[in-house]
Amino acid sequence: MARKKEYIEEEVIEKAMNLFWRNGYETTSVRMLEKEMGINQFSMYSSFGNKHGVFLESIKCYKKKAKEELIDKLKQSTNGVEAIKEYFYNFIEFSKDTKINKGCLLTNTVNELGEHADTVIMSEIIKFATGIKSHIIKKLESDEQKDSKTIVKQANYLMVSLQGLSVASKMFERQQLEDFIESVFKSL
Amino acid sequence: MARKKEYIEEEVIEKAMNLFWRNGYETTSVRMLEKEMGINQFSMYSSFGNKHGVFLESIKCYKKKAKEELIDKLKQSTNGVEAIKEYFYNFIEFSKDTKINKGCLLTNTVNELGEHADTVIMSEIIKFATGIKSHIIKKLESDEQKDSKTIVKQANYLMVSLQGLSVASKMFERQQLEDFIESVFKSL
DNA sequence: TTCAAAACTAAGCAATTGCTTAGTAATAAT
DNA sequence: ATTATTACTAAGCAATTGCTTAGTTTTGAA
């Protein structure tokens, strides 16, 4: 009855996501997306509505990828606090690019769009951050000695440190990042 | 012989700087700069060459302001490591805005432009970061017990933490930021 | 007062932005 | 084979981008 799509939406969104990850939202033009995704603007707009829609799906794609490559590993590990440290190191690998790292797409987005960021996108980001935090808390709780108050404080500390690692990975050398991670976990 | 300028370049640049600080480089258009600076585009271009030139001068203006309000205080203090902690707290006040903080203009810039950033601007940023680091090292050295190797490691740690604070201040509440700062300095 | 130099106003430039639309091609139930 | 439905191509839309330029006003030394 109708013609078939010549592309798989999930596949082209992953390409879009990588472009947004490298360049940010504003700097990524629809023409660039066209080329990278390998589809026409018409197809883009009929599949995802507008540039914003492409970005929103890219965010979801990123979350899925980060879940598979980072969060699931954290969840499965039985190493307690050491597992969180591994998460930090895994993140550096996860965000690797040509020489300079790409950071975390979600952190990049908040940093770029700030309060101008769409509420739907912001809620996606907050949900993700909340998820990571609760997993960190679980790992901290495996250390019996800690009371709940210090656990919350340490979780906050680790979350901000993670942000720091994301930004710093875009400008600092590997050694400095490792120094940072080691120092962060020395105090726990 | 010639007509007088109706504006003071230093004054209009400070206004431009505040706009860049709030919005970032790309999102700040020449029309917005026109309004905020209170001068015509022609004047802008004759004084500063192009948008990039306005930005470069804004960066210099930011560095000057940060020096006066943050770095000089750090330098003058005799509180050792405690002085660095005060620097962290002062930074939060320094970057305050309506509800959400603006972060550090230089960190924001690296984060936005990444490797696309102009080399002149990048060298300005690196010079600034190097300056802060050397001041931090001086304060760390006032603690006699530390050997030079741990001082370097701790300085790296504090620099990345500062980046983290900059980004986190754009999305987290005051309490979480304070928890972070306290945790950072607990381990030193 | 004259007049060249500099600073102003404002209109407009080409290029790029996100997005739309008119026309054509493929699909499969009828 | 016909036909309605959907997906494609590609041209083009208004709006905005950074920047320029033509023309006017101000200035102070000559």
pLDDT per position as a tens digit, A31-71: 999 999 999 999 999 999 999 999 999 999 999 999 999 99
Contacts B159 to A, Cβ<8 Å: 168, 172, 176
Question: Using a CB-CB distance cutoff of 8 angstroms, which residues of chain B are in contact with residue A161?
Answer: 161, 164, 180
Question: Distance from CA of residue B92 to its chain's centroid?
Answer: 11
Smallest Cα–Cα separation from B114: which of A30, A112, A186, A144? A112
Nearest C-alpha neighbor of A181 from the set B96, A164, A58: A164
Of B27, B114, B116, the CB nearest to A26: B27
pTM above 0.85, yes or no: yes
- Tell which of A163, A170, A175, A187 to mutate to test the B interface (max B CBs under 10 Å): A163
What residues does each domain of chain B span?
9-186
Is strand C in 7 Å reach of the CB of A41? yes
**pLDDT tens-digit readout, B80-98:** 999 999 999 999 999 999 8
HSE-CB for A142 with a 13 A CA cutoff: 14
CATH superfamily for A9-186 is: Tetracycline Repressor, domain 2 (1.10.357.10)
- Is the Cβ pair B183, A111 closer than 8 Å? no
Nearest to B86 by CA among B162, B187, B173, B163: B162
The pLDDT-based confidence of B131 (bands split at 50, 70, 90) is: very high
* Chain B residues near residue A168 by CB distance under 8 angstroms: 159-160, 163-164
Other residues' Cβ atoms within 10 Å of the Cβ of residue B44:
21
| pLDDT < 70: residue spans in chain A | none
Cβ–Cβ contact A186 with B under 8 A: yes
Q: Which residue in this structure is represented by tokens 């943050």?
A: B70
Nucleotide nearest to B47 (CA to C1'): C7
Q: Which among A160, A12, A23 is positioned nearest to A100, based on CA atoms? A: A23
Nearest to B154 by CA among B127, B179, B133: B133
* H or E element that contains A13: helix A9-23
Residue B77 has a pLDDT of 94
Chain mean pLDDT for chain A: 94
Instruction: Please enumerate in sequence order all residues whose Cβ is within 8 A of that of A107, keeping only pairs 6 or more positions apart, or say none.
Output: A163, A166, A167, B167
Please give the Cα distance from A125 to A172 (Å, whole number): 25
pLDDT value of position A20 = 97
The pLDDT of residue B1 is above 80: no
Tell me the pLDDT tens digit for each residue of B138-156: 999 998 788 999 999 999 9
The torsion angles phi and psi of B66, rounded to 5 degrees, stand at -65, -35
